[in-house]
Amino acid sequence: MTAVRAHIKAHSSSPHILLFNNLININQNGPLKCTPNVKQRFGPLESSFPLLGKKPSPFATFKKQPTVEELQDMLLTEIKRSSEDDEPSFVPPPFCGDEGIVMSGEDAATELVQNLGDPTFKSKGFIPNLECPVLDEMAAKTREKAAGYMEETPMMCSVFPCDTLIPLQHHNETMSYSTLLLGSILWMIWPPTERNLTLLHRAYDEFAIDPDEEKFNIANELTGGVVFVQTASEGLRVPPYCIMLGLATENSVLAKYSLLSATQFTAMLHKLPFLESWWKTEAHGKEKRADFALALLPRIKRILAGDFDPYPPAEFLLTGQKGGALFELVKGWEQVNSSIASLVDGETAKGIKEVWVDFLCKVVGRNCALCTGYLQDKRKEMLAHFQDVHWPKEKVGETSEPMEGVEMTGGDVTKSD
C-alpha cells in the first residue's frame, strides 16, 4: 500500500485523486498483495483474483515495447480506418463551446495520439477500444491459450489522457488480459460478490430511469476491493464480473484482448437479468443485446455437442461427472431458460430447442437428461416434452424477425456514452 499512497501523493493535483485516497481507507479495501482470505472474496480459484505483472502480458517476452512513435503510427492508421467505417473514435464527441465549432471525433482522437509523448496531456475525452491489427499480430504467438476457450476477441487499444477517470462499471463475462503500453493507471477492483453486484445492478436500473451519472457514485458502498498502480509494460488479468474504477494518472495506452471459456459462458447465463439492466444504460444497448442474443445459439450448440468436455454427450447420464460446461448447462437450465426465452427472437428460440432435442435424444437411456423423467427417445415426443416442461410458457422475446450480427459483448473497463 506504500507504493499506492506515494502514487496518490505524487498526483494530488488530480481532481479525482481524493476519491481513491478515501476508498483505500474504508470497507475492507486494501492492496493487491493481500492474504489468502482476501483473495477468497473474489472466488475459490487462483484465476478468480486479478493478476498484475509481466506474466499476463503477451508482450512480456519482447526485447522492447513499441515506442511512442510506433504507437502513434499504428493508432493514427486505425483512427482513419474507424472514421471511414463510421465507428466512434473519441468519447464523448468533442465540442468547442467558445467558438461554437464542432470538432470531429477523428480530429480529437488524432490530437490525443499526436500528444502521446507528453505524459501530462489532458483532453475532455478518450479513445475507446480501437482495433489494432498490428498489435494483434505481434501478440498472436504469445497471448494466453487454454483448453476450454470458445471465443477470443482481437487486440483492442484504448487511449486515456492524463486525469481521465475510467468510470465505475462491471468487467464483462470474459477473462481479459491487458498491457499498459504507455503511462500509468490507478485501479480499484472489487470482487463480484452478491452484495457488490446487487449495488451495481440497482445503479444500472436507476440510471436507466434517470440518466444521471451521479447514480454510479456507489464506490464508497462497495466492499473488499484491491487497489494498485499499473505501469508501462505491466500486464493485468481481470476475471469476469469484477467491478472496476480507474484513473489514468498519465497519458496512457492500454492494449487488451479477452478470452471466453465455456464454463464462463454457462455462469454468465445466470447473470442475464443483470445484463438486461446494463444494456439499458448503454448508448447502443439495443444493438448489444441483439448481438448477444444471436450469439447464444452457436455457443449452446457447441456445449451440447460436447466440444468442451472429455466424454461424448451420449454418455452424459453414464459418466456421473460433476462439473464442466455440459454439466453446468444441464444443471442450471431451469434457472436460466426464462431469461433466455425473453431475450431471443423466434428463429433463435427454435434453434435452441432443436439443439437441446438433438442432445436429449442422443443421451444413452430413456430418461430425459434434464428431469430424468421416463420418456421415449423419439424426436417428436422429446420436442413436445422439452417445450412443455423445459421451455417457459410465455416467450416474451420471441419476435418474428431474426436479429443480425454476432458479437461478444459485455461490460468493459470503459463506459460508453
Q: Of the candidates 317, 178, 204, 328, which has an alpha carbon nearest to the alpha carbon of residue 261?
A: 328
Last residue of a domain, one of 226, 259, 292: 259
What are 229's strand-pairing partners? 186
Query: Which residue is associated with the grid cell 498519465?
Result: 250
- pLDDT confidence of 276, banded at 50, 70, 90? very high
> What confidence score (pLDDT) does residue 115 get?
97
Please compute the mean of the pLDDT values over residues 18-25 and round it to a whole number.
92
> What confidence score (pLDDT) does residue 104 get?
80
In-domain check, residue 290: yes
pLDDT, tens digit, 9 for 90 and up, residues 102-123: 678 888 999 999 999 999 999 9
In-domain check, residue 102: yes
Are 44 and 106 contained in the same domain?
yes
Q: In the predicted model, is pLDDT for residue 86 greater than 80?
A: no
Q: Which residue has the higher pLDDT, 177 or 411?
A: 177
Q: How many domains does the structure of the chain reveal?
A: 2
Q: Do residues 176 and 187 lie in contact, with contact meaning Cβ atoms separated by under 8 Å?
A: no
Q: Of the candidates 249, 230, 224, which has an alpha carbon nearest to the alpha carbon of residue 177?
A: 230
Are 115 and 40 contained in the same domain?
yes
pLDDT exceeding 90 applies to what percent of the chain? 68
Are 312 and 186 contained in the same domain?
no
Last residue of a domain, one of 197, 228, 259: 259
DSSP letter string over 308-357? TSSS-GGGHHHH----SHHHHHHHHHHHHHHHHHHHS-HHHHHHHHHHHH
Please compute the mean of the pLDDT values over residues 322-326 and round it to a whole number.
90
Are 253 and 319 contained in the same domain?
no
Are 134 and 228 contained in the same domain?
yes
Any idea what the CATH number is for the domain that residue 150 is in?
2.60.120.10
Q: Of the candidates 172, 389, 147, which has an alpha carbon nearest to the alpha carbon of residue 295?
A: 172
Are 219 and 340 contained in the same domain?
no
Are 207 and 351 contained in the same domain?
no
Are 76 and 27 contained in the same domain?
yes
What are 177's strand-pairing partners? 237, 257
Q: In the predicted model, is pLDDT for residue 95 greater than 80?
A: no
Q: In the predicted model, is pLDDT for residue 405 greater than 80?
A: no
What are 139's strand-pairing partners? none
In-domain check, residue 401: no
- One-letter amino acid for residue 276 of the chain: E
Q: In the predicted model, is pLDDT for residue 292 greater than 80?
A: yes
Please compute the mean of the pLDDT values over residues 151-155 and round it to a whole number.
91
Q: Which of 161-175, 369-383, 401-415 has the lowest mean pLDDT?
A: 401-415
Tell me the C-alpha to C-alpha distance, in Å, between residue 354 and each of 259, 317, 347, 358, 382: 27, 20, 11, 6, 10
For 39-183, where are the E strands, in sequence order?
51-53, 127-131, 149-152, 156-160, 164-170, 175-182
Which residue range(s) make up the domain with 133?
Answer: 2-259
Are 24 and 98 contained in the same domain?
yes
Give the C-alpha separation, 72 to 389, whole Å.
Answer: 57
Give the C-alpha separation, 108 to 93, whole Å.
Answer: 8
Q: In the predicted model, is pLDDT for residue 296 greater than 60?
A: yes
- pLDDT confidence of 146, banded at 50, 70, 90? low
Query: Which residue is associated with the grid cell 495520439?
Result: 113
Are 309 and 219 contained in the same domain?
no
Q: Which of 205-209, 242-246, 277-281, 364-368 has the lowest mean pLDDT?
A: 364-368
> What confidence score (pLDDT) does residue 280 get?
96
In-domain check, residue 399: no
Give the C-alpha separation, 33 to 227, whole Å.
Answer: 9
Mean pLDDT estimate for the chain: 88
- One-letter amino acid for residue 174 of the chain: T
Are 74 and 188 contained in the same domain?
yes
Q: Which of 67-81, 139-153, 215-229 has the lowest mean pLDDT?
A: 139-153
pLDDT, tens digit, 9 for 90 and up, residues 331-374: 999 999 999 999 999 999 999 999 999 999 998 877 889 987 76
Q: Which of 9-18, 121-130, 324-333, 358-367 has the lowest mean pLDDT?
A: 358-367
Q: Do residues 132 and 71 lie in contact, with contact meaning Cβ atoms separated by under 8 Å?
A: no
> What confidence score (pLDDT) does residue 35 get?
85
In-domain check, residue 14: yes
Are 206 and 328 contained in the same domain?
no
In-domain check, residue 382: yes
